[in-house]
């Protein structure tokens, strides 16, 4: 079955489709052509209305049963699938990404909605705890204490440019916030507004089908001021963001300056260092070389987990790696980048590295044919030069990698100590490397959210044990993740109930209610 939704260019504010000021069009980055229709830019009044509706919806939405909320998430997933090829075609036009990549991303998007439905049903996220009263305890009796997690309130979500489905209107931030019981107001990314509207309409149809209040979901398009007004709005209680360091910091500053500051969970900037160890290079330098270029150039390098920095000890085996990687990159054909702005930023970043006196260009990709494309780039420098200029460690969003040659393991560890926070670190290791690799791992634990061995950081599994986070500037809060089921915790807070009579306790904390759910009874895990 397919559902057809129109792309009207309207804002979706609760049940209303509205927008007078239709002035911006999406661009097909593969051709540079403007796409129809024009999209509305939300005014301050539009932002205020969406947030007010979200505030009104909050108590009703958060009181939904786990089953009702899980069904809502599953209905969104079904509705997105029912849009069918129209969604893939529009997303491909707006992003230049191939249909196969977008089909995979759609599967991931509906998969994570369904996974969060399971999480909601399981009750684990409620983190129920009961410390029964000890009236005879000396010298003082203990009160009856019961704890559960409740949702924070309406959440503002900023869709990412580089995942038009999985990190956009119904992406990970929206799924985790809705699972937690928070209404969501999305500011869609102007790189793919038609894709966003189709998905937004699928969510709105699920709101109606599940009998939820209209303010459970709204979708706005607009410029910087729209996002700023959204973060300032007093109904908004948390923000989920994926994008640039500058954007994340700007929104964080606005949130912190509010009369009531709120958390901003921003995923911003990461160069995802890869450490090539000697025994691994000796055994498979060529395979590591081709694997690296495959990861570097995937999706024109437009992944937050793109491997932008490599560290290795100088050796003939390292030269074999460099030769293979260079040959692979030279043969790689540039794909269109997501937006003219991202393309220009890539060109500037690559030009700065190519023109840096301490950096050597090892290889470039095949010449670009068509607009918004640039060949990938592979550079090298040494540790002293790398440490002398912090800009060499900054993200160049796209297929750009920098190899840093080290003299020995101590130098490799010393340079790792100087890195900024990262989403990931990768080690290429064989058994002969374990002794020296073990010295690096404690440093990496302090720097990153995910450590992986003998793979590549692109490709993030959506699961229970995934962390897609890390210390600043990878994210604004290293205690959280934006991918995987742990992401729900960002939008929850604990409330403790002391000596409340049974009839006034939330159902899941009443004596009978708690028995059917996972909980801690006086510190002992029960119910699962
Ligand atoms: P972006 O410029 O940070 O924009 C992301 C969203 O935040 C957009 O909705 C944008 O609104 C909004 N925004 C940005 N600055 C703002 C401000 N000062 N006040 C209010 N709202 C603001 O990111 P992008 O457009 O996706 O790509 C630009 C760069 O971001 C890339 O070149 C890359 O460096 C980085 N990036 C990183 C990741 C990652 O995963 N780490 C992913 C994508 C992009 P407007 O559209 O109105 O500006």
Ligand 1 atom closest to the CA of 268, numbered from 1: 41
Catalytically annotated residue among 94, 105, 197, 267: 267
In this predicted structure, the answer to whether residue 20 has a pLDDT above a threshold of 90 is no
**Average pLDDT of the chain to the nearest whole number:** 97
For 297-343, the pLDDT digits (tens) are: 999 999 999 999 999 999 999 999 999 999 999 999 999 999 999 99
User: Quick one: tokens of 274?
Assistant: 């890869």
In this predicted structure, the answer to whether residue 21 has a pLDDT above a threshold of 90 is no
4 band by pLDDT with thresholds 50, 70 and 90: confident
Residue 101, classified by CB atoms within 10 Å of its CB into exposed (0-12), middle (13-18) or buried (19+), is: middle
Ligand 1 proximity of 244 Cβ (cutoff 6 Å) = yes
What are the CA-CA distances from residue 435 to residues 409, 432, 438 (Å)? 11, 7, 5
Strand, coil or helix: 94: helix
Ligand 1 proximity of 344 Cβ (cutoff 6 Å) = no
Instruction: Give me the residue label for tokens 């010449």.
Output: 367
In 120-236 the beta strands, taken as DSSP E runs, fall at 128-131, 145-151, 155-158, 184-187, 217-220
Rounded to the nearest angstrom, the distance between the alpha carbon of 179 and the centre of ligand 1 is: 25
Ligand 1 proximity of 40 Cβ (cutoff 6 Å) = no
In this predicted structure, the answer to whether residue 2 has a pLDDT above a threshold of 90 is no
Query: Which residue CA neighbors atom 24 of ligand 1 most closely?
Result: 243
Respond yes or no on whether the N-terminal peptide bond of residue 473 is cis (omega within 30° of 0): yes
Q: Which has the closest alpha carbon to 125: 149, 144, 108?
A: 149
pLDDT at residue 11, as a whole number = 98
Ligand 1 proximity of 268 Cβ (cutoff 6 Å) = yes
1 band by pLDDT with thresholds 50, 70 and 90: low
| 398 touches 349 (CB < 8 A) | yes
The domains located in the chain, with CATH, are 11-19+37-268+479-490 (3.40.605.10), 274-453 (3.40.309.10)
Q: Residue 197 catalytic?
A: no
236 band by pLDDT with thresholds 50, 70 and 90: very high
Q: Give CA–CA dist 105/111, Å, rounded.
A: 10
Ligand 1 atom closest to the CA of 187, numbered from 1: 9
CA angle 327, 329, 333 (to 5 degrees): 125
Query: Which residue CA neighbors atom 16 of ligand 1 most closely?
Result: 247
Substitution site in 24, 219, 244 for ligand 1 pocket (most atoms within 8 Å of beta carbon): 244
503 band by pLDDT with thresholds 50, 70 and 90: very high
Ligand 1 atom closest to the CA of 474, numbered from 1: 41
Ligand 1 atom closest to the CA of 162, numbered from 1: 43
Stretch 370-375: mean pLDDT: 97
| 168 touches 189 (CB < 8 A) | yes
Total residues found in the chain within this entry: 528
Stretch 266-284: mean pLDDT: 97
Ligand 1 proximity of 224 Cβ (cutoff 6 Å) = yes
Residue 247: how many other CB atoms lie within 10 Å: 16
Return all residues near 472 (Cβ < 8 A) that are at least 6 apart.
420, 421, 478
Q: Give CA–CA dist 517/528, Å, rounded.
A: 7
Instruction: Give me the residue label for tokens 């939300």.
Output: 42
Q: Give CA–CA dist 153/270, Å, rounded.
A: 29
Stretch 144-163: mean pLDDT: 98
447: left (phi over 0), alpha (psi -120 to 50) or beta: alpha
33 phi, psi to nearest 5 deg: -80, 145
Ligand 1 proximity of 242 Cβ (cutoff 6 Å) = yes
Nearest-10 crossing angle of helices 434-447, 409-417: 10
Ligand 1 proximity of 221 Cβ (cutoff 6 Å) = no
Query: Which residue CA neighbors atom 25 of ligand 1 most closely?
Result: 161
In this predicted structure, the answer to whether residue 103 has a pLDDT above a threshold of 90 is yes
Q: Give CA–CA dist 68/5, Å, rounded.
A: 24
Strand, coil or helix: 458: coil
Ligand 1 proximity of 228 Cβ (cutoff 6 Å) = yes
Rounded to the nearest angstrom, the distance between the alpha carbon of 293 and the centre of ligand 1 is: 26
Catalytically annotated residue among 51, 182, 304, 406: 304
Rounded to the nearest angstrom, the distance between the alpha carbon of 163 and the centre of ligand 1 is: 12
Ligand 1 proximity of 161 Cβ (cutoff 6 Å) = yes
Ligand 1 atom closest to the CA of 189, numbered from 1: 9
In this predicted structure, the answer to whether residue 479 has a pLDDT above a threshold of 70 is yes
Ligand 1 atom closest to the CA of 303, numbered from 1: 40
How many Cα neighbours within 13 Å face the side chain of 354? Answer: 14
User: Quick one: tokens of 405?
Assistant: 């040659």
Q: What's the whole-model pTM score? A: 0.97
Q: Given strand 128-131, what is the order of strands in its sheet?
A: 492-498, 145-151, 128-131, 519-521, 524-526
Residue 371, classified by CB atoms within 10 Å of its CB into exposed (0-12), middle (13-18) or buried (19+), is: middle
Ligand 1 proximity of 162 Cβ (cutoff 6 Å) = yes
Rounded to the nearest angstrom, the distance between the alpha carbon of 149 and the centre of ligand 1 is: 31
Query: Which residue CA neighbors atom 47 of ligand 1 most closely?
Result: 223
Ligand 1 proximity of 109 Cβ (cutoff 6 Å) = no
Rounded to the nearest angstrom, the distance between the alpha carbon of 247 and the centre of ligand 1 is: 5
How many Cα neighbours within 13 Å face the side chain of 375? Answer: 20
Q: Residue 182 catalytic?
A: no
In the chain, the percentage of residues whose pLDDT exceeds 70 is 100
Instruction: Give me the residue label for tokens 């500058």.
Output: 246
DSSP string, 121-139: HH-GGG-EEEE--BTT-SS
pLDDT at residue 283, as a whole number = 98
Q: Which has the closest alpha carbon to 319: 273, 376, 274, 278?
A: 278
In this predicted structure, the answer to whether residue 429 has a pLDDT above a threshold of 90 is yes
Ligand 1 proximity of 285 Cβ (cutoff 6 Å) = no
């Amino acid at each position: 079955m397919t559902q057809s939704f129109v792309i009207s260019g309207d804002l979706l504010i609760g049940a209303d489709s509205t927008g007078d000021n239709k002035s911006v069009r999406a661009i097909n980055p593969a051709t540079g052509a403007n796409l129809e229709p024009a999209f509305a830019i939300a005014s301050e009044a539009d932002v205020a209305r969406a947030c007010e509706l979200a505030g009104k919806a909050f108590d009703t939405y958060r009181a939904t049963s786990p089953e009702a909320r899980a069904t809502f998430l599953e209905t969104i997933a079904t509705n997105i699938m029912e849009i069918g090829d129209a969604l893939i075609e529009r997303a491909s036009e707006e992003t230049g990404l191939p249909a196969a990549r977008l089909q995979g991303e759609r599967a991931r998007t509906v998969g994570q909605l369904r996974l969060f439905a399971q999480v909601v049903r399981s009750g684990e996220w409620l983190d129920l705890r009961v410390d029964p009263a000890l009236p005879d305890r000396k010298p003082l009796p203990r009160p009856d204490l019961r704890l559960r997690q409740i949702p924070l309130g309406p959440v503002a979500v900023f869709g990412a440019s580089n995942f038009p489905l999985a990190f956009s209107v119904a992406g990970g931030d929206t799924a985790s916030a809705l699972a937690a019981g928070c209404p969501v107001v999305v500011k869609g990314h102007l790189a793919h507004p038609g894709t966003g509207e189709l998905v937004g309409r699928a969510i709105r149809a699920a709101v109606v089908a599940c009998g939820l209040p209209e303010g459970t979901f709204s979708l706005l398009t607009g410029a910087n001021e729209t996002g700023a007004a959204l973060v300032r709005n007093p109904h908004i209680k948390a923000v989920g963001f994926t994008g640039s360091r500058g954007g994340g910091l700007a929104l964080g500053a606005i949130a912190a300056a509010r009369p009531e500051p709120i958390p901003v969970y921003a995923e911003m900037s990461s160069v995802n260092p890869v450490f090539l160890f000697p025994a691994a290079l000796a055994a498979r330098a060529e395979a590591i070389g081709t694997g690296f270029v495959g990861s570097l150039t995937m999706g024109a390098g437009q992944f937050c987990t793109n491997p932008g920095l490599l560290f290795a000890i100088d050796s003939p085996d390292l030269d074999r790696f460099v030769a293979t990687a260079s040959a692979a990159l030279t043969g790689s054909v540039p794909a269109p980048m997501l937006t003219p702005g991202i393309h220009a930023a890539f060109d500037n970043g690559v030009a700065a590295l190519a023109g840096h006196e301490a950096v050597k260009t090892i290889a470039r990709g095949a010449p670009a044919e068509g607009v918004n494309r640039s060949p990938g780039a592979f550079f090298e420098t040494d540790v002293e030069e790398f440490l002398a200029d912090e800009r060499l460690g900054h993200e160049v969003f796209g297929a750009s990698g920098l190899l840093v040659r080290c003299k020995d393991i101590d130098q490799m560890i010393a340079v790792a100590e100087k890195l900024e926070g990262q989403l990931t670190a990768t080690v290429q290791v064989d058994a002969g490397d374990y002794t020296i690799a073990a010295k690096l791992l404690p440093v990496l634990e302090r720097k990153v959210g995910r450590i992986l061995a003998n793979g590549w950081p692109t490709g993030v599994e959506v699961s229970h044990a995934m962390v897609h986070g890390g210390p600043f500037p990878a994210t604004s809060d290293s205690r959280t993740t934006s991918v995987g089921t742990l992401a729900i915790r960002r939008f929850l807070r604990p409330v403790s109930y002391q000596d409340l009579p049974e009839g006034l306790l939330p159902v899941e904390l009443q004596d009978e209610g708690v028995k059917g759910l996972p909980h801690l009874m006086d510190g002992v895990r029960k119910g699962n």
